Amino acid sequence: MKMLQMKKAMSNWLKAGMLVMVTFFFVSCGSQDKKVDTSQIKVTGSIQAELTSPPHVPAPVGNREAKRVKVELEIIEEEGTMVDGSKYLYWTFGGTVPGSFIRTRVGDKVEFHLQNHPDNKLPHNIDLHAVTGPGGGAESSFVAPGKEIVFSFKTLNPGLYVYHCATAPVGMHIANGMYGLILVEPEGGLEPVDREYYVMQGDFYTEGSYGERGLQAFDMGKAIAEDPDYVVFNGSVGALNNENALQAKVGETVRLYMGNGGPNLVSSFHVIGEIFDKVYVEGGTLVNENIQTTMIPAGGAAIVEFMVDVPGTLILVDHSIFRAFNKGALGMLTVTGDENEKIYTGTQQEGIYLPEGGAIQRMPGSKEPAQEELAQNLDERLEFGKDIYTRTCAACHQQNGEGLPNAFPPVANSDYLNEDIDRAIDVVLNGLQGEVTVNGEVYNSVMPGQNLTDEEVANVLTYITHQWDNTPVEVTPEMVKAQKEKS
């Protein structure tokens, strides 16, 4: 009898214990799920926001308390270079595309001063995705040229957020470069890293085709069709290449604040030669690890982190790969330091990754060729030829004309080029495959024919023959036309 009573007591004790554990579990989960009311974070003191131009970012927030942060951002409409020879009238926040980087922490009270430069032609405003309020601030920030508007907001949610203009037509304002990033760090700040950079992708739509010379206007038809001529990092082709490349040393940790201004395309962001140790998915608090390529929607962002282990040039791309090599979405991160053969061995080539560009030159929707800018003298022919070489030839033959061993023959001091200029014209027009001997070395690769006008062929060959100890020849469009007729 006593044994039966003891068993019942033990059973009741276990049930009670389980009930306590289950209750504790649900109470605990409930307390974890309960969102902190960040609107109640106390603000102490005030500071002037440090704003930086891409690819730079302001100093980390660290452990500072929430403050009143004064942001002064000026809208500037100004002409800039999209690619060598092609100009574009950018609309900017702070004079750059993307706009100035803004760094805050959760709980800050931001006092935003939006200024529209008096030389501008259009009114603008700003929609910050970090703002909780009508239009993300757009309804409170419409400002005419020569005026300033002031509004304020509380940063409630940590994350990396896009801001952009939202004045009608909204798509046009964004497409002309009016976007940037605002970072809201969590309480206590982000973990320290050795290097931080600001990169933002955007797609541009111009009346002229890729690389067409002169000042290019925005093309609404292409924008609506989502058919960009350029997809670029930080506002232009080559903004992060060669002398503009990002820098790091072996063993350092790198954090990229990567945004996508759009206005249309989703980015498949990838760094050739690295794996992301951490990705803050869509700029939020969810962290993914060991990622090769991360999707960044138009109007979205991501934070990616990785350690660089070996020296060399890492290549930033939109892995929708024609955008990288033919429309400009390509950048570089140069890593210096000692080799580590335990991780990687092999011959490293500098400068092999360059935008290749397109060469089709027609006005959209027109049956007639675009008005082509013709060289009036040798100096102009050399200038125009350099532009063409940079965007169509340098990816293979290199900026210095030396080519790549066992792959692409040199055009610098090239006996093959200098022996027969008509043959050189034919190669540019129609391409070349099979074995050729250049400066005593045998090459067996393929060069596709270039889709260039007679004027462009003349310009680029004139430029090449006047460089790198070649025999100078002024090639004319008439010479190119005559060679076409022969071949």
CATH fold, domain 196-336, is: Immunoglobulin-like (2.60.40)
Residue ranges of the domains in the chain?
46-188, 196-336, 378-486
Using a cut of 0.75, tell me whether the model's pTM lies above it: yes
Out of 9-13, 231-235, 370-374, the most confident range is 231-235
Burial of 375 (C-beta count, 10 Å sphere; 0-12/13-18/19+): buried
Mean pLDDT for the stretch of residues 174-203: 98
397 is in an annotated binding site: no
Inform me whether the pLDDT recorded for 386 exceeds 70. yes
178 is in an annotated binding site: yes
1 is in an annotated binding site: no
Domain 46-188, CATH: 2.60.40.420
On the question of a cis peptide bond just before residue 263, with omega within 30 degrees of 0, the verdict is yes
Supply the Cα-derived Rg of the chain in whole angstroms.
28
113 is in an annotated binding site: no
Inform me whether the pLDDT recorded for 361 exceeds 90. no
165 is in an annotated binding site: yes
> Which tens digit of pLDDT belongs to each residue from 232-283?
999 999 999 999 999 999 999 999 999 999 999 999 999 999 999 999 999 9
H-run or E-run covering 421: helix 421-430
Inform me whether the pLDDT recorded for 51 exceeds 60. yes
At 83, the pLDDT band (50, 70, 90 cuts) reads very high
6 is in an annotated binding site: no
Burial of 364 (C-beta count, 10 Å sphere; 0-12/13-18/19+): middle
124 is in an annotated binding site: yes
d(CA 64, CA 138): 29
- In CATH terms, the superfamily for domain 378-486 is Cytochrome c-like domain (1.10.760.10)
Same CATH topology for 46-188 and 378-486: the answer is: no
> Which tens digit of pLDDT belongs to each residue from 103-137?
999 999 999 999 999 999 999 999 999 999 999 99
